[in-house]
């Protein structure tokens, strides 16, 4: 969990922004909610162009005190620092890449005190043989290990070469399952024939759950919550508050890394509440590390479920349609649980909804995901009225 500079700022990043971001996250509670990785994406480097023309250096104008200073600032304030590079001659935004200099760069990152590396091939190996992509991922993985510093490793390859099948063995801690996200909930087709909206990403990633678990995760890309169509970098028209909340709920259930992409210095109250919901974050961080599966698909009405370490099951009732709908979840039929009685908690309304012995039914507005925690109950009276009277979201 953390923040990444790309979705809002692109390569327009600098020391002041990073320091203000950390200060804001310490002050507004996001750090203490678990968002500790502060990840510089592309654009921290001094030079554009290939290595033979320039060494890999930090931009002294953007980062006057250098990256060791920034890492020390992060560590001194309860954060970790992430950095970005790629296996090409240049990175996706045209800055100096690491090709042929993996060992040297990994050592440099370690010396700066970096805690996370996003290593990004810029979707450039789409048709390359799997062995070639594996070799690239592994080379930097070994270089990071040899650096002697524990550095979380993100192998960013646009979800090609079936990366989920082998990236953990190659030493990666997370890997993108698709192309870049756009700031849209459900754009018809792919924007610019490339970008995945929230639902595209969900549909792609949710089938890959069996490849993820503690220490190795499917990455559904950085959050667009709170961008509101105003990113300097990402395409997209923005989404409604309800849609952003649904996006956050689904990334949490899918056990994706939660990397905030918005400007945390200027979050409105609703967005901050969305990102800070401790009950939802707890699902994402559950120690069992089991990603959600889609357990029912009635076209626009879908049910997702994530088993938790304590035996409860988190459920999202997702209404992808344009009209409010009644949705039902059955612990037996949908979740395979032999519970006689169970209780239901609503994780956005922070409310206990009662105890039940028949399927639970709730009203779900358009593009909402009702996020529920279902837990078995023994020896209690049972309510059979499953009418859900909790108020609709703001």
In sign, the C-alpha dihedral spanning 225, 226, 227, 229 is positive
For ligand GAL, how many residues bind (rule: CB under 6 A)?
A: 11
Q: How far apart are CA 9 and CA 180, in angstroms?
A: 15
Q: How far apart are CA 187 and CA 302, in angstroms?
A: 18
Give whichever of 123 and 272 is closer to ligand GAL, judged by the CB atom: 123
Angle between helices 198-205 and 241-253 (to 10 degrees): 20
Tokens of 391: 């108020």
Segment contacting ligand GAL by CB under 6 A, of 120-128, 264-272, 318-326, 370-378: 120-128
CB neighbours of residue 342 within 10 Å: 22
Residue from 13, 40, 92, 225 binding ligand GAL (CB under 6 A)? 92
Looking up tokens 């959050």, which residue turns up? Answer: 223
Q: What's the closest the beta carbon of residue 95 comes to ligand GAL, in angstroms?
A: 8
Q: How far apart are CA 96 and CA 49, in angstroms?
A: 5
Residue nearest to ligand GAL (CB): 92
Task: State the pairing for strand pair 217-219/174-176.
Answer: parallel
Q: What's the closest the beta carbon of residue 63 comes to ligand GAL, in angstroms?
A: 17
Segment contacting ligand GAL by CB under 6 A, of 85-93, 108-116, 133-141, 297-305: 85-93
Give whichever of 93 and 227 is closer to ligand GAL, judged by the CB atom: 93
Segment contacting ligand GAL by CB under 6 A, of 87-95, 165-173, 248-256, 309-317: 87-95
Q: What's the closest the beta carbon of residue 294 comes to ligand GAL, in angstroms?
A: 25
Residue from 15, 102, 115, 180 binding ligand GAL (CB under 6 A)? 180
Tokens of 280: 């939802």
Active-site residue, from 180, 183, 197, 388: 180
Segment contacting ligand GAL by CB under 6 A, of 103-111, 115-123, 344-352, 364-372: 115-123
Give whichever of 120 and 184 is closer to ligand GAL, judged by the CB atom: 120
Looking up tokens 């409860």, which residue turns up? Answer: 312
The yes-or-no answer on residue 120 being catalytic is yes
Site string for ligand GAL, 192-231 (x = CB under 6 A): ----------------------------------------
Residue from 93, 155, 172, 239 binding ligand GAL (CB under 6 A)? 93
The DSSP element (H or E) to which 32 belongs, if any, is helix 30-33
Give whichever of 58 and 93 is closer to ligand GAL, judged by the CB atom: 93
> Which DSSP category does 364 fall into?
E
Question: b/e per residue, 118-139, with b = 16+ CB within 10 A?
Answer: bbbbbbbbeebeeeebbebbbb
Q: What's the closest the beta carbon of residue 320 comes to ligand GAL, in angstroms?
A: 25
Q: How far apart are CA 145 and CA 143, in angstroms?
A: 5
The yes-or-no answer on residue 72 being catalytic is no
Q: How far apart are CA 1 and CA 256, in angstroms?
A: 9
Q: What's the closest the beta carbon of residue 260 comes to ligand GAL, in angstroms?
A: 14
CB 343 within 8 A of CB 355: yes
Q: What's the closest the beta carbon of residue 286 comes to ligand GAL, in angstroms?
A: 26
By the rule CB under 6 A, 73 interacts with ligand GAL: no
Residue from 3, 6, 37, 164 binding ligand GAL (CB under 6 A)? 6
Q: How far apart are CA 200 and CA 238, in angstroms?
A: 15
Beta bridge partner(s), residue 372 = 315, 346
CB 98 within 8 A of CB 108: no
Active-site residue, from 41, 115, 120, 197: 120
CB 286 within 8 A of CB 269: no
Contact positions with ligand GAL (CB under 6 A) in 136-175: 156
Q: What's the closest the beta carbon of residue 21 comes to ligand GAL, in angstroms?
A: 17
Give whichever of 93 and 364 is closer to ligand GAL, judged by the CB atom: 93
CB 254 within 8 A of CB 210: no
Alpha helices (runs of H) in 100-187, residue ranges in sequence order: 102-112, 130-146, 163-166
Residue from 15, 120, 219, 368 binding ligand GAL (CB under 6 A)? 120
Contact positions with ligand GAL (CB under 6 A) in 31-60: 41-42
Tokens of 124: 């450039």
Q: List the catalytic residues.
A: 120, 180
Applying CB under 6 A, the residues found at the interface with ligand GAL are 6, 41-42, 91-93, 120, 122-123, 156, 180
């Amino acid at each position: 969990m953390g923040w990444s500079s790309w979705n809002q700022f692109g390569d327009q990043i600098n020391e002041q922004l990073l320091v203000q971001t950390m200060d804001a996250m310490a002050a507004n509670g996001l750090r203490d909610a678990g968002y500790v990785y502060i990840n510089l994406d592309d654009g921290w480097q001094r030079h554009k162009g290939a290595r033979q023309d320039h060494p890999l250096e930090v931009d002294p104008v953007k980062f006057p005190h250098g990256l060791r200073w920034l890492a020390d600032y992060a560590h001194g304030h309860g954060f970790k620092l992430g950095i970005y590079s790629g296996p090409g001659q240049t990175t996706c935004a045209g800055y100096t890449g690491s090709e042929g200099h993996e060992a040297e760069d990994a050592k440099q990152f370690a010396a700066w005190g970096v805690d996370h590396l996003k290593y990004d091939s810029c979707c450039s190996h789409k048709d390359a043989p799997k062995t070639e992509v594996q070799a690239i991922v592994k080379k930097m993985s070994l270089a990071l290990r040899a650096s002697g510093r524990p550095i979380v490793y993100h192998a960013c390859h646009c979800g090609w070469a079936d990366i989920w099948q082998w990236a953990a063995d190659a030493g990666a801690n997370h890997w993108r399952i698709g192309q870049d996200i756009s700031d849209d909930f459900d754009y018809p087709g792919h924007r610019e024939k490339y970008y995945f909206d929230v639902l595209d990403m969900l549909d792609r990633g949710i089938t890959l759950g069996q490849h993820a678990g503690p220490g190795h995760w499917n990455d559904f890309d950085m959050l667009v919550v709170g961008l509101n169509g105003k990113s300097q970098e990402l395409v997209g028209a923005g989404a409604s508050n309800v849609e952003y909340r649904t996006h956050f709920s689904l990334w949490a259930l899918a056990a994706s890394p939660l990397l905030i992409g918005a400007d945390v210095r200027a979050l409105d109250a609703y967005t901050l509440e969305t990102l800070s919901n401790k009950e939802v974050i707890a699902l994402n961080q559950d120690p069992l590390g089991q990603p959600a599966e889609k357990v029912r698909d009635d076209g626009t009405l879908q049910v997702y479920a994530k088993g938790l370490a304590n035996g409860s099951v988190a459920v999202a009732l997702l209404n992808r349609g344009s009209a409010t709908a009644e949705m039902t979840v059955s612990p037996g039929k949908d979740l395979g649980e032999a519970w006689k009685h169970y209780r239901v908690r609503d994780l956005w309304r922070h409310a206990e909804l009662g105890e039940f012995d028949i399927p639970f039914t709730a009203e779900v507005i358009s593009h909402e995901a009702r996020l529920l925690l279902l837990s078995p109950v023994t020896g209690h009276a049972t309510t059979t009225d499953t009418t859900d009277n909790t108020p609709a979201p703001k």
